[in-house]
């Protein structure tokens, strides 16, 4: 199956793992939308740009089979973790919500019929998690998950939309933690451990080849049932 995949966030932990997985498919081509492009297949791209500038950046991409919108603001690591609540909320709005919506809307003219759109949620967005970061991520990922449901209905006969909702994935923030704190977080998950970026990438890889229009609008939770409160 030949696929042209276009993705934001490929420089992040899940993104790097996903790109590695795409290399197992020589017939797949990946266009990387990056703030710091480093190769000929990369397109300079910042999801906080205006809708017009984003649309212009995507003009040369050609037909796209799959959009994976991975870009997300990291409000757990410095410098954002030390900023006021409202500023962290603004960052999540600008990147995860508005940035994703702009990316999707600019991709639609290029998306082939029966294309796939994969957005990123969070397994606890609908369950609740105490604390400021929990509130903030719930706001952002809950909004994005709800948006994806309506988008799926809008695009019903045209594209398949999924939200992938991982738990704690060992990416930038996870890797910065001391072992005891990491272990405490792991102990509060049902699986008792952090998810690896490759596990989440494997789910995304599978969705790219899952039968089209079979289960559009679904949230794919990457966890073992409802997670424990943490
Ligand atoms: N890790 C987890 O535990 C977890 C759990 C649930 C959901 N998620 C979601 O999964 C997605 C990927 O997570 P991750 O942990 O792999 O992320 P990460 O390692 O923190 O990387 C974030 C990615 O987003 C990109 N990005 C940030 N702001 C951007 C902007 N303005 N324009 C374009 N790209 C931008 C970053 O690019 P730069 O390299 O340029 O900074 C980087 O590629 C995110 O949406 C995240 O919210 C993660």
Q: What is the CATH number of the domain that holds 38?
A: 3.40.50.720
66, 110, 25: which is closest to 210 by C-alpha? 66
Any ligand 1 atom below 6 A from CB of 101: no
What mean pLDDT value characterizes the chain? Answer: 95
Nearest CA to ligand 1 atom 46: 72
Which ranges constitute the DSSP H helices of the chain?
13-22, 51-57, 85-92, 100-107, 132-154, 172-175, 179-187, 197-209
pLDDT digits (tens, 9 = 90+) for 101-120: 999 999 999 999 999 999 99
How many domains is the chain built from? 1
70 falls within a domain: yes
99, 92, 117: which is closest to 51 by C-alpha? 99
23 falls within a domain: yes
Residue 167 has pLDDT above 90, yes or no: yes
Which one of 72, 124, 195, 203 would you pick to mutate in the ligand 1 pocket, going by the greatest count of ligand atoms within 8 A of its CB? Answer: 72
75 falls within a domain: yes
CA distance 101 to 191: 32
**Strands 3-8 vs 111-120: parallel, antiparallel or unpaired:** unpaired
pLDDT given for residue 142 in this prediction: 98
Any ligand 1 atom below 6 A from CB of 11: yes
Beta carbons within 10 angstroms of residue 157's beta carbon: 8
Residue 41 has pLDDT above 90, yes or no: no
pLDDT given for residue 229 in this prediction: 52
229 falls within a domain: no
Contacts (Cβ under 8 Å, ≥6 apart) of 16 = 10, 197
pLDDT given for residue 214 in this prediction: 87
230 falls within a domain: no
Beta carbons within 10 angstroms of residue 131's beta carbon: 9
Residue range 200-228: average pLDDT? 88
pLDDT given for residue 189 in this prediction: 82
Residue range 135-139: average pLDDT? 98
Nearest 5 degrees, angle CA 51-CA 18-CA 36? 45
User: What pTM, to 2 d.p., does this model score?
Assistant: 0.96
53 falls within a domain: yes
Residue 117 structural domain: 3-222
Q: Cβ(158)–Cβ(113) under 8 Å?
A: yes
Any ligand 1 atom below 6 A from CB of 194: no
Nearest CA to ligand 1 atom 39: 11
Exposed e or buried b for every residue in 174-194, given b needs 16+ CB within 10 A? beebeeeebeebbeebeeeeb
For the CA of 141, the closest atom of ligand 1 is 47
Q: Cβ(220)–Cβ(163) under 8 Å?
A: yes
Give the range among 22-31, 186-195, 220-229 with minimum mean pLDDT.
220-229
Contacts (Cβ under 8 Å, ≥6 apart) of 217 = 148, 149, 152, 153, 161
7 CA to centre of ligand 1 in angstroms: 11
Any ligand 1 atom below 6 A from CB of 166: yes
173 CA to centre of ligand 1 in angstroms: 10
CA distance 181 to 57: 41
């Amino acid at each position: 199956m030949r696929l042209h995949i276009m993705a934001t966030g490929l420089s992040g932990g899940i993104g790097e793992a996903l790109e590695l997985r795409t290399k197992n498919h020589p017939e797949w081509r990946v266009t990387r939308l990056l703030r710091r492009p480093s190769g000929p297949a990369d397109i300079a791209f910042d999801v906080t740009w205006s809708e017009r500038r984003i649309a212009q950046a995507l003009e040369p991409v050609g037909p796209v089979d799959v959009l994976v919108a991975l870009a997300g603001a990291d409000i757990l690591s410095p410098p954002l973790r030390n900023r006021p609540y409202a500023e962290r909320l603004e960052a999540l709005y600008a990147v995860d919500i508005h940035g994703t919506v702009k990316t999707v809307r600019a991709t639609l003219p290029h998306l082939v019929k029966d294309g796939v759109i994969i957005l990123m949620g969070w397994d606890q967005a609908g369950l609740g998690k105490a604390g400021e970061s929990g509130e903030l991520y719930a706001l952002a990922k809950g909004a994005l998950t709800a948006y994806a449901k309506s988008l799926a209905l809008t695009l019903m006969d045209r594209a398949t939309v999924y939200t992938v909702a991982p738990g704690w994935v060992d990416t930038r923030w996870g890797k910065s933690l001391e072992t005891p704190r990491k272990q405490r977080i792991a102990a509060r998950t049902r699986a008792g451990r952090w998810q690896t970026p490759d596990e989440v990438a494997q789910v995304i890889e599978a969705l790219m080849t899952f039968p089209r229009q079979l289960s559009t609008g679904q949230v794919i939770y990457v966890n073992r049932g409802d997670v424990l409160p943490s």
